[in-house]
A and B are shown apart, each in its own frame.
Chain A
Amino acid sequence: MNRAARNRRNWTRFLGLVVALLLPIVFQDAYLRNILVIFGIYCLLALSLNIIVGYIGEVSLGHAAFFGLGGYASAILSKTVGFPVLLSIPSAVVISGILGLFIGYLALRLRGPYFAITTLAFAEIIRLIVTNWVDLTRGPLGFTQIPPLVLGIPGWFEFKVMSELRYYYFVLVLVGLVFLLIYNVVHSPTGRTFLAIREQEPLARSVGINPFRYRVLAFVISTMIAGLAGAAYAHFFRIISPDINMVYYSAIPLMMVMVGGRGTLLGPFLGALLFAVLPELFRTAGTIRMVFFASFLLATIVYMPEGIAVKIQTFIRDWETKKSPQELGDV
């Protein structure tokens, strides 16, 4: 990467952070702040699914299972068992990862559509378990009054993260950490190994890579982040029902990743913006807005099959080469 590109990247990140910090101050309205929190949670979910879709190149139709599991695990641990939320959230992440290991270990032996269908089936099984294991999950009723997130030491100093504003900053920290985690993994031997498997599996094996092991690893990382997103969801809305396991929550992040740009770091954010924020902002337009979004989705698939982020990258690169033809060799 040349210096101009690095500078641009740093500036984009800095600007992104400033905008993210200022957003809830600009938008004082509780409803808008509510949308911002939802946006953050969807960013987590899309970032997590992007690891499977973008970096190991498989389509998962069952991501809702891990989103829901994270939410339920944290809700049950904090409400029924009595864990502090600060502990129930990481536990939910671990539980999601364990289930991810189990399902990934079985499903990742399959490829392409077979893998996709298997994940869909697993998600459906988990949804049925959640709906019917009434003793543990309270069935279709779900949980209400889930304990809020409290930072600090109980009895000494407590800071309730309940308002939209505070919760927004909490989610922002989570998004930042997850972004950093994914960035570091992608730009490391592990990330290169994922790419090797996605791009040319026989070659990957011929240089000593065990593809299955790395596919499972990526899957587990992804499901842990999905669990984190679910837990963040549960303690924000403070209610949870089996709806969280519905196909909708598998399909939405998949669209975000596909339209935003799979295998890019920017893509999930763009996708989340498009599918979580815009539909809410245009709510006044009524159901007709869905027609526009459907057309938009189709147009993206036809004209930008690799996603918006890739289109932007190509555009910037073309623009720069036009500006300085002597750098053409770098492209």
Chain B
Amino acid sequence: MALREVSLEVQPHEILGIIGPNGAGKTTCFNILTGFYSATSGTVFFEGQEVSSMPMEKRALLGMVRTFQHTSLFPKLTVYENVLTANYKMNATNLLHHIFRSGAFKKTERELDKKAMEVLEFLGLREQRDMMARNLPYGSQRKLEIANALATDPKLLLLDEPAAGMDPVESQDLMRLIKEIQKRGITIMLVEHNMKLVMGICDRLVVLNYGSKIAEGKPKDIAQNPDVINVYLGKKQDSFRLKNRG
């Protein structure tokens, strides 16, 4: 998988969707933006700061947090432990505090607990807090993946196929949730195959094909764009089926 001269920009508080056929380089794009892979050339800026040479974990601490397809949770931990563990950023204590159970340690643990409960409440996972993550229903697992990312208080949240495998009801719910996250002042980028979801919530779309950007714009313009229709459905098809995919 490779990308060729792709340039994109996401504005604060925006929801930007990245779409394209399988193998178009959507996930690669995420990998490069977040530093999971390093690009052979090109630069990444985050809030005006160049982050191209930073490892993924440093970019995460700046507020650039992603999810992975299917591996964004700790299967053997409970839902609550998942969110607690994912909230690495908030912990201000060090090993010595932990060993000697200092006051600062207890204070931090209370704060982490509060934050974890708040995130679980927000995602509607509170009831399942003591369930092991791998025993959760599929839709809830996807939500927990978002919870893990949200626990770190990101500024930019990159969601890699958050609706994968969800039924229509669950993805409706997810759409509402992503909108809510946006309302909290978090910028969102998402890679998604579910066109209904993408068209419904994204402010802007970027379309990739074979590693190149072929279109960019508002969802309704993209749906009419002949190049995009061509890529998705082959030539001589109308845009009707594109809208109703998924």
Which of A's residues lie within 8 Å of B, judged by CB? 181, 184-185, 188-193, 195-196, 199-200, 202-211, 217, 329-330
Contact = CB atoms under 8 A, between A and B. Distances in A.
A208 B149 contact: no
B73 A203 contact: yes
User: Interface size for chain B: under 10, 10 to 19, 20 to 34, or 35 or more residues?
Assistant: 35 or more
A321 to B, nearest CB: 13
Contacts of B148: 203, 207
A228 to B, nearest CB: 15
A185 B98 contact: yes
Contacts of B95: 185, 190, 217
A206 B67 contact: yes
A204 B75 CA distance: 13
Contacts of B89: 207-208
Contacts, number: 95
B101 A202 contact: no
A195 B149 contact: no
B205 interface: no
Contacts of B75: 199-200
A206 B85 contact: no
Contacts of B209: none
Interface of B: 34, 36, 55-58, 60-61, 65-68, 71-77, 81, 84-89, 91, 93, 95, 97-101, 105, 108, 112, 130-131, 148-149, 151-152
A204 B65 CA distance: 11
B81 A200 contact: no
B74 A206 contact: no
Contact of B57 (A184, A190, A205): A205
24 contacts: A181-B99, A184-B98, A185-B98, A189-B108, A190-B98, A195-B74, A196-B86, A200-B75, A203-B68, A203-B72, A203-B73, A206-B34, A206-B57, A206-B68, A207-B60, A207-B88, A207-B89, A207-B152, A208-B58, A208-B88, A208-B89, A209-B88, A211-B57, A330-B130
A200 B99 CA distance: 25
A57 to B, nearest CB: 12
